[in-house]
Chains A and B, each alone.
Chain A
Amino acid sequence: MPAPASASGDQPAAPLLECPFTQGDLPRLRMLVDQYAHREGLPEPRRGEFVVAVDAVATNAIEHAGGGGTLTLQRADGHLECHIHDSGPGFTADAIPPLAPGIDDHTAGHGLWIATLITDHLTISADTNGTTVALTMRLPH
């Protein structure tokens, strides 16, 4: 699995959570992400938005990249980072519409677009092993 750089460029800390997932794991995974985000001090409503964004990216992996992936959650330099890796055919940031897609546009990447909207930072990196989407939320001081 590629190791995306942390938001600060520092070495990432040991993961809070690292687990493979398929569709049936999502409810449990969302609850874990929520609890760890709470534990690390991410307040509502940002915490709820983070969980929505994580679910959107994980669901994208389930629907388009072989039914699942691996989620890694970690704290690094005042940020909470979630990396979702899949082994699908790969995609780039071009898959994210630059403007709000229409509600009747079923081909648009609504999930990735909203994930970009509600997180502080979203990056996509791809190599021969698959694709990793990194979602970052700034933690309060």
Chain B
Amino acid sequence: MAAADDAASAGTIPVQQLRAGDHAFVGYDDDDAGRDVVAGFAWAGLAKRERVMVFAAPQLAEDEVWDRLDVPGPLLGAARDRGQLVVSSMRALIHPARTFTPERQWQRIEEETDRALADGYRGLRTYIDMHWVADLDADVATMMYRESHAEHLFSGRPYTEICAYDSRWFAPEVLTAMHRAHPCRLLPHLGALHTEHTDDAVRLAGEADISTREQFVAALREGLARSADAGRLTVDLSRLSFLSVACTMDLLRLAGSATHDRIEVRCQPTVARILRRVDVGPLPGLRVSEVSR
């Protein structure tokens, strides 16, 4: 099972929809694929006044990691200098311990979360590339235990974590188990659109824009076709982080030409506001309901 397939399965969300307290899995299968995920995760943390710690793949030079995080303008700015954005390693985190144990790592993450709060930040977020397992010669089964028993780090605590797995290194059964063990699964890169179908619903996650418009329209058409006999369709856009104007008009156009008795669109408040403000005339069977993650 490829990581990309893992990442595109049910329940997947875009990195933009991560919330404080989330523990997320993301898979990657080339060295640049997840570049935007770590950068976007870090930028969002800085904007939210959280401390961000990036535990990158140990084989990357620190300068390469900083290059990946770089952003035009002042967003990064002094964050590095004042210690809001930190590049480190699992080896350094558990120091002076030399052997990985879940207990030592949990202890250090709890300490770092407390330290972030004491320093005036709203919380801590970490991006952990799982290549640290090889770097510390750790037991994969022990790592899997840690991943499956880490709820206390997140419960009622302002701590958010992405665990990034290289599918070229981890065995398929490990990837499958870790994908299931994480409460959140992320799309592998910015700009992706993932679709899921049932007989009475089409669910979309990610971004519907100029690059994914054909896929978006095809998914709606398939959903309408599959539900034509029943005459009812749910279009679940709640895991879309972006819906372009053109895709909004496509949605309204297709809904307007369908013979369905009812088409319910479930979406985030921004999308709902735009759907309501676009005065395209009566679409009697269309219902828009707001949902928030």
Residues on the B chain within 8 Å of A26, using CB: 191, 209-211
Docked complex Cα distance between A62 and B274 (Å): 22
Docked complex Cα distance between A38 and B273 (Å): 19
B279 part of interface (Cβ distance < 8 Å): yes
A35 to chain B, nearest CB (A): 5
The main secondary structure of chain A at its interface with chain B is helix
Residues on the A chain within 8 Å of B74, using CB: 16
Binds B, one of A78-86, A98-106, A126-134: A98-106
Task: Please state if B190 and A117 are interface contacts (CB–CB under 8 Å).
Answer: no
Residues on the A chain within 8 Å of B43, using CB: 31-32, 35
Additional A-B contact list (8), CB under 8 Å, known A45-B269, A52-B244: A23-B210, A26-B191, A26-B209, A26-B211, A27-B190, A31-B36, A39-B46, A55-B245
Task: Please state if B242 and A55 are interface contacts (CB–CB under 8 Å).
Answer: yes
Instruction: Mark each residue of chain B from 244 to 288: 1 if its CB lies under 8 Å from any CB of chain A, else 0.
Output: 111011001100100000000000111001100111110000000
Instruction: Mark each residue of chain A from 12 to 40: 1 if its CB lies under 8 Å from any CB of chain B, else 0.
Output: 00011111000110111011101110110
Q: Which 7 pairs between the two chains have the least Cβ-Cβ distance?
A: A48-B270, A27-B191, A27-B190, A38-B47, A56-B245, A100-B279, A17-B73
Task: Please state if A27 and B207 are interface contacts (CB–CB under 8 Å).
Answer: yes
* Residue ID in chain B nearest A25 by CB atoms: B191
B16 part of interface (Cβ distance < 8 Å): yes
B216 to chain A, nearest CB (A): 14
* Residue ID in chain A nearest B251 by CB atoms: A103
Task: Please state if B73 and A114 are interface contacts (CB–CB under 8 Å).
Answer: no
Task: Please state if B269 and A17 are interface contacts (CB–CB under 8 Å).
Answer: no
Docked complex Cα distance between A117 and B275 (Å): 12
Docked complex Cα distance between A17 and B277 (Å): 29
Docked complex Cα distance between A29 and B13 (Å): 19
Task: Please state if A55 and B16 are interface contacts (CB–CB under 8 Å).
Answer: no
A111 part of interface (Cβ distance < 8 Å): yes
A49 touches which of B209, B256, B274 (Cβ 8 Å): B274
Residues on the B chain within 8 Å of A15, using CB: 73
B75 touches which of A39, A102, A104 (Cβ 8 Å): A39
Q: For chain B residues 23-52, which have a beta carbon within 8 Å of chain A?
A: 36, 39-40, 43-44, 46-48
Residues on the A chain within 8 Å of B209, using CB: 26-27, 55, 59
B256 touches which of A51, A56, A100, A103 (Cβ 8 Å): A103
Given contacts A27-B191, A59-B210, A49 and B273 within 8 Å (CB-CB): yes
A51 touches which of B48, B211, B242 (Cβ 8 Å): B242
A63 part of interface (Cβ distance < 8 Å): yes
B72 part of interface (Cβ distance < 8 Å): yes
B174 part of interface (Cβ distance < 8 Å): no
A44 part of interface (Cβ distance < 8 Å): yes
Docked complex Cα distance between A103 and B196 (Å): 26
Task: Please state if B245 and A103 are interface contacts (CB–CB under 8 Å).
Answer: no
Task: Please state if B36 and A27 are interface contacts (CB–CB under 8 Å).
Answer: yes
B27 to chain A, nearest CB (A): 18
The total of chain A residues at the interface (CB under 8 A) is: 40
Task: Please state if A31 and B40 are interface contacts (CB–CB under 8 Å).
Answer: yes
Residues on the A chain within 8 Å of B249, using CB: 103, 110
Instruction: Mark each residue of chain A from 86 to 127: 1 if its CB lies under 8 Å from any CB of chain B, else 0.
Output: 000000000000001011100000110011011000000000
Residues on the B chain within 8 Å of A45, using CB: 269-270, 273
B2 to chain A, nearest CB (A): 22
B230 part of interface (Cβ distance < 8 Å): no
B93 part of interface (Cβ distance < 8 Å): no
B246 touches which of A24, A44, A111 (Cβ 8 Å): A111
Task: Please state if A111 and B207 are interface contacts (CB–CB under 8 Å).
Answer: no
Docked complex Cα distance between A111 and B243 (Å): 12
Q: For chain B residues 221-246, which have a beta carbon within 8 Å of chain A?
A: 242-246
A76 to chain B, nearest CB (A): 15
Docked complex Cα distance between A45 and B230 (Å): 35
Docked complex Cα distance between A63 and B253 (Å): 21
Docked complex Cα distance between A30 and B40 (Å): 11
Task: Please state if B71 and A103 are interface contacts (CB–CB under 8 Å).
Answer: no
A111 touches which of B245, B268, B269 (Cβ 8 Å): B245
